Every structure is written in C-alpha cells, then in structure tokens.
Amino acid sequence: MSALLKVRNLRIHAGPVEVVRQVDLVLNAGETLGVIGESGSGKTVTCLALLRLLPDGLTAGADAMVWRDADLGSLSDREFRPYRGRQMAMVFQDPVGSFNPVKTIGWHLRTALDRRRAGAPWRPLAVTLLADVGIPHPDAVLERYPHQLSGGMLQRALIAMIVALEPGLIIADEPTTNLDNIVEQQILALFRDLQERLSAAFVFITHDIGIAAQISDRLLVMYAGEVVETGPAAAILAAPRHPYTRGLIATARALTARAETLAEIPGQLPLPGARPTGCVFRPRCAVARPGCEAPQPLRAIAPGRAIRCLLDD
C-alpha cells in the first residue's frame, strides 16, 4: 500500500500547555486506521489538527506533515485550503452541526459537487450519491431541510457530501454515536463499501472497541494526548501489550458478556496541564514498577507494532 499522509511528531498546544505530543502517523491508501481511547485522550483534536480545523486557542506543529509529495507544513492557511475537502475530509460526530439549517439537502450537495465539477449538471449525480448511501426517494430528499431527516438519514446525507468531493482521506469522528444498533451496522457497512470503491484511507475515531474491531486494519491507542500502543488491529485485539489497552479491551468484553461486575480502569484521565511525570498512565496502572517514573518512548516490539511501556523489558 502507498502512503497518502505521513506525520512525524505532531504536537498541539493550548498556550503553554501541551495537549497532544509525539504523535506519528502513516496513513495508507485503502486501509482503515482505528483511533481508540477514553473521552479526552486526544483522538478528535489530533485529527482536527490534520485538517487545520482546531478551535481557537489551540495551535499545532509537526516536524513533518506530507500529503503524497506535498509538504503541508510549509503551506499557508490559504494554500492549504484546497486540500481540505477535496483531498482530506471529515465526517463529524454530530451530523446536525455539519448542515446549514436554512438550506436544503440539495443545496449542500450542489455546493460540494461544485468544488469538483463547477458548472456541470449536479442534480442527477446528487440523486445517485444519495441512492448509493441508502437513502430512499433521493430526488425528494434533495428538497428537504436538515431538520426533516432522522439522525441516521442525515449522517448518510453527510457521507454522500463527502463522497461527492472524492477525497483520498476520510476521517470519521464517532459517526455512529446516538444511532440505534441497526442503523449503526448499516453505517459501518456503508463505510466498508466506500473504502473498497474509493481506495481512500480512512481514520475511524471511536471509544467502542467492538466497532474498532469490525472496521479497522490498524489501531492507534491514545491516552492523555499520547500514543501508547499501535499496530495491526487483529494483533492488538488478540494480545494487547500496553496495560491501558488491556484495560480498554477487558472493559469492552465485560460489557459484551453482560458480567455482573464490570471491569474498569481505576482513577481518572489526567488533565493536560497536570500530567504525572514519567509514564502518564502510571498512577492508574496495576503493574507500575521502578523505572516508570522516567518518560517512556514509543518503541517497536514487532514489525509494525509499538508500545509506550516498560512492560516487555
């Protein structure tokens, strides 16, 4: 597989506070990277930084950020703008917030299609796009407003807009949140179909281990703004090596098994400005030992697999 995006040492600051640090990414065409971790671990903000969509007050930098052969780090915001949407796009967690409430679905799709095919007839292709994502009566849906669609239908319409742009990278930020199980499975099936048809790279942000297992080729596990484990999804799910990853998977399996006593990771995620010294997971880790007080690098333990932990020493 060919690499579409390479990122080295991505870091995000809120003033003097480091929110995310030392994140390396390689995103390949035709594969899905699942990004997992607790809420507040840095998953979404890391991906927002890739598209330069960080909220006010946050700044990002990286030693290298290369899209195909283009050095994105050297581009001004104006020069970067054509990459957002046409090359890299994002499906947000709340589809409602992605639509202008006073504009029809057809207006949104026409606007997206004009970025690729300015002046070309848009309606026949818009109808096809909505049909492809499983929306019945697509011609009529073009005349509706966002509030007239259900959450699942609106998520499908948003995905149709993304497909209209034909990006090489699609980031999906918890796109099945608040959807019932049937619609959730339909959306996941739709993403798998799009991956095959578009040969795009997908980043799927989720806190649900079950969803990550269904859709991911590789996993990136984040904790307190750091990558703590990364590697092939099947290998990590079968034999997690970092104590945090083990805790996440044990909790997910306890929920699935409907156990009377749920497994849990004790303690709380630290705030970015109050990280402990050394290993940031150390205060919550059941196997912490001497040496964990020192900062831990992300180190390879097998081809394509790495952890930020002393556990394997």
Q: How far is it, in rounded angstroms, from Cα 161 to Cα 4? A: 21
List the one residue out of 50, 57, 133 whose CA is nearest residue 95.
Answer: 133
**CATH 3.40.50.300 domain range(s) in the chain:** 3-87+168-307
pTM above 0.75, yes or no: yes
295 phi and psi angles, rounded to 5 deg: -60, 140
Please identify which residue in the block is written with the tokens 């995006």: 5
DSSP character string of 101-122: TTS-HHHHHHHHHHHHSTTS--
Q: Within the chain, where are the H helices?
A: 43-50, 77-80, 83-86, 105-116, 123-132, 138-141, 151-165, 181-198, 209-215, 233-238, 243-256
Per-residue confidence in pLDDT tens, the chain, 313 aa: 568 999 999 999 999 999 999 999 999 988 999 999 999 999 999 999 999 999 999 999 999 999 998 999 999 999 999 999 889 999 888 888 889 999 999 999 999 898 877 777 899 999 999 998 889 999 999 999 999 998 888 988 998 998 888 889 999 998 877 777 887 888 888 888 877 777 889 999 998 888 899 899 999 999 999 999 999 999 999 999 999 999 999 887 766 656 566 667 888 999 888 988 899 999 999 899 898 999 899 999 999 999 999 876 5
Q: Which CATH architecture has domain 3-87+168-307?
A: 3-Layer(aba) Sandwich (3.40)
> Between vectors from CA 161 to CA 158 and to CA 166, what angle results, nearest 5°?
130
